[in-house]
Amino acid sequence: MTAPIPSSGSSSTSSSNANPSTSSTSATQPASSTLSGVGTTAPFQISGLASGLDTNSIIQKLLAVYTAPEQLVQQQEVVTQQKQAAWTDLQTKMQALQTAIQTVQGASAAAGRVGNATAPVGGTAAVSVTATPGAALGSFTVNVQSLATTGILSGGANMSAPITNAQAASTPLTSLNFGVPVTTGTVTINGTAITIDSSTTLLGASGDTLQAKLAAAGVTLTAITSGGNVTGVQLSSATPLQLGTPSDTSNILTSLRLTTAAPSGGGTTIQSNGSLSGSALTTALPSLQLATPLASSNGSILVNGVTISYTSSDTLGSLIGKINQSTAGVTASYDALSDRMVLTANNTGMGAISVSDVGGGNLAAALKMTTSAGATVTPGAPAVFTVSGINGGNPIASASNTVANLIPGVTLTLQGVSPNMTPAGATTVNITQDTTALTNALQGFVTAYNALQDDITKYTGITTDQSGNVQNAGLLAGDPGLTSLAQTLDETLNGTTVTLNGKQYSMADLGISTTPASAFSAAAVPTLDLQFNTSTLTATLAANPTLSQAFTGNGTVSSQTGTLFQSLNTIMDSWTSPLGNLGTTMDALTAEYANEQQQIQNWQDFAQAQQQQLSDMFTAMETSLSQLQAEGQAMSAQLGALTSSTSSSQGH
């Protein structure tokens, strides 16, 4: 039955409003309730009040003719939902298979090459190696004479203003130009707590001096001097020194560069291992206490020919940041222990680092980064090595320790120097076949392929009894597209062959084959599942290293024309692409489901209208009968009265 077209208006309701005036019994008016079966609210009568009929039951039976089609559409709607779920399941399996196909085509699976470095007898490997699919199988030797190095500029030490002998004896520790400013508090040495206050000086045989306080604790402090300046201190004791405790509050040991120093003499002697004076990275350039004062707070320096400008608001730290963020190609740092600037080239290879002042400023010289101010420059050097069969065995230079494609498809990383530049001291490099990535990719393909074929069989398979009667049919049985997909995949995979060195190969030679016919069971649905023998793959590639690429390509998914896996990818793309078979089918099911919902709504609306019409009709009937009954009773009463009156008259 065709679903009714939704009505644009409601059914008219007819009713009689009889109002008998002579009857002692008034007509009963209907109430309202909900009738079962159509889900709508309609007038409700006290069934058969006048007629004695079960009008509610009659209406429900009449409505059944309209609810039956609705139930059929609802059943079809359930089937449509099941089909949508089935296709969603198939979509997941198809996308997984296409991903697996592209993984087989990818560079990692196609690589199939591994490099191994074997160290010379009694030595270590001077190189490590990686290989790409383009690398030729074979071996060669490498000798490394020297590694590539980076250029370094080491600024002059002690660039900060020194602590003079006079200052050490008269100026409080907290006011001296220490690289790490001194804090007041206590420090424990050999079990004795020594107080450092704002008046304590460094040197002095008596009074509030660190030297005198240590002497009282049995420790001798000797100043290490040079040119009238104190460059460090030495502590000595008759017993091993015990410096500091966790409860100390003064950092004097750090300021004196003793916390990073190694003791000697069985622990009885220790001396500063760095410059006492220094500069803080957070101090503005004009406020730095440098051995050579700044001539100007603003200016520029040249680092490898790149201009670095500075102003009075710059600090030593911000200047270092400007150098590192520039195109000078160096990394600057401050060595607090030596109180010097250090610039290191970002890349290895030939080239020295140059620093100079420009524009009349002297910041570079004040920071001792110029050679005239004491900086030393060590230029970078290239790596020097030999490779058997390359350049006639003569030395080869490289600016980097990573040497790519000197041998096609091979990258050498130089990591050490050979014991000697002879064949006996060489590292042997072997480029061999590696099937691990390909094996994993093919296993993933087989798993995804079987999952899709199993799904297709589940949804389209039909089983029969011995008489040929259908016992069970899949939800999508008879779908020509799915049946064709399963067959096309099977035929493409099993029918594609390649010829290499005059011999024909199939995927079975790589260990992948369809389940043999002997494995089929008469009671089961035949399967197109694949089996994968990894041992067959390994053995085949050992004898024919390039065979896999004839089926899978050379590692670029977009350029695999003519290969088996490109054909498989094209097949799957015809289904999974935005305008492919899969999308078209799912769109059609979506439209079908929407249409079924509309049909159900139409039937519900139609049944509701019919229910209202029937209810109104029976209500009118009951009302009319009630009125007739009332009128009959009135007439009967009048007739009775008339008869009584006539009898009385005759009696007289």
439-452 tens-digit pLDDT: 999 999 999 999 99
State the pLDDT at residue 444: 95
Collapse the DSSP code of 509 into the 3-class scheme (helix H, G, I; strand E, B; otherwise coil) and give the result.
helix
Structural domain boundaries enclosing 325 = 281-378
Q: The domain spanning residue 335 has which CATH number?
A: 3.30.70
Whether residue 349 sits in one domain with residue 402? no
State the pLDDT at residue 319: 97
- Domain presence at residue 91: no
Whether residue 310 sits in one domain with residue 289? yes
- Domain presence at residue 315: yes
Whether residue 297 sits in one domain with residue 240? no
Contact (Cβ atoms closer than 8 angstroms) between residue 146 and residue 433: no
Contact (Cβ atoms closer than 8 angstroms) between residue 370 and residue 357: yes
Rounded CA gap, 35 and 43, in Å? 8
Extended strands (E) in 197-349: 219-226, 229-237, 269-271, 299-303, 306-310, 330-335, 340-348
- Domain presence at residue 562: no
Whether residue 390 sits in one domain with residue 373? no
Count CB-CB contacts under 10 A for residue 511.
Answer: 22
Backbone angles phi, psi at 555, to 5 degrees: 105, 5
* Alpha carbon 551 to its chain's center: 31
State the pLDDT at residue 644: 76
Whether residue 350 sits in one domain with residue 293? yes
- Give the residue among 323, 346, 332, 396 at the shortest CA–CA distance from 150: 346
The segments of the chain whose pLDDT lies below 70 read 1-52, 111, 470, 515-527, 554-562, 647-652
Of 271, 296, 317, the position where a domain reaches its end is 271
- Domain presence at residue 220: yes
- Domain presence at residue 20: no
Whether residue 244 sits in one domain with residue 199? yes
- Domain presence at residue 317: yes
Query: Could you please report the per-residue DSSP string of 353-412?
Result: --EEEETT--HHHHTT-SGGGT-EEE-B--EEEEETTSGGG--EEESSSEEEEEETTEEE
Counting the structural domains of the chain, the total is 3
Whether residue 204 sits in one domain with residue 142? no
The whole-chain average pLDDT of the chain stands at 85
Whether residue 293 sits in one domain with residue 267? no
Whether residue 260 sits in one domain with residue 202? yes
Whether residue 368 sits in one domain with residue 293? yes
Extended strands (E) in 202-298: 219-226, 229-237, 269-271
Angle, helix 55-105 to helix 564-576, in steps of 10 degrees: 150
State the pLDDT at residue 43: 43
Of 222, 242, 271, the position where a domain reaches its end is 271
Contact (Cβ atoms closer than 8 angstroms) between residue 471 and residue 525: no
Rounded CA gap, 357 and 285, in Å? 15
Q: Over the stretch 75-117, which tens digit does the pLDDT of each residue have?
A: 888 888 888 888 889 999 999 999 999 988 887 777 678 899 9
Per-residue HEC secondary structure of 464-492 comes to: ECCCCCEEEECCCCCCHHHHHHHHHHHHH
- Domain presence at residue 647: no
Whether residue 346 sits in one domain with residue 297? yes
For residue 285, what is the DSSP state?
G
Per-residue burial over 398-418, b if 16 or more Cβ lie within 10 Å, else e, is: bbebebeeebebbbbebbbbb
Count the alpha carbons within 13 Å of 359 in the hemisphere toward its beta carbon. Answer: 14
Of 359, 378, 397, the position where a domain reaches its end is 378
- Domain presence at residue 53: no
State the pLDDT at residue 649: 64
Q: What is the largest CA-CA distance in the chain?
A: 172
The pairing of beta strand 330-335 with beta strand 185-189: unpaired
Whether residue 292 sits in one domain with residue 266? no
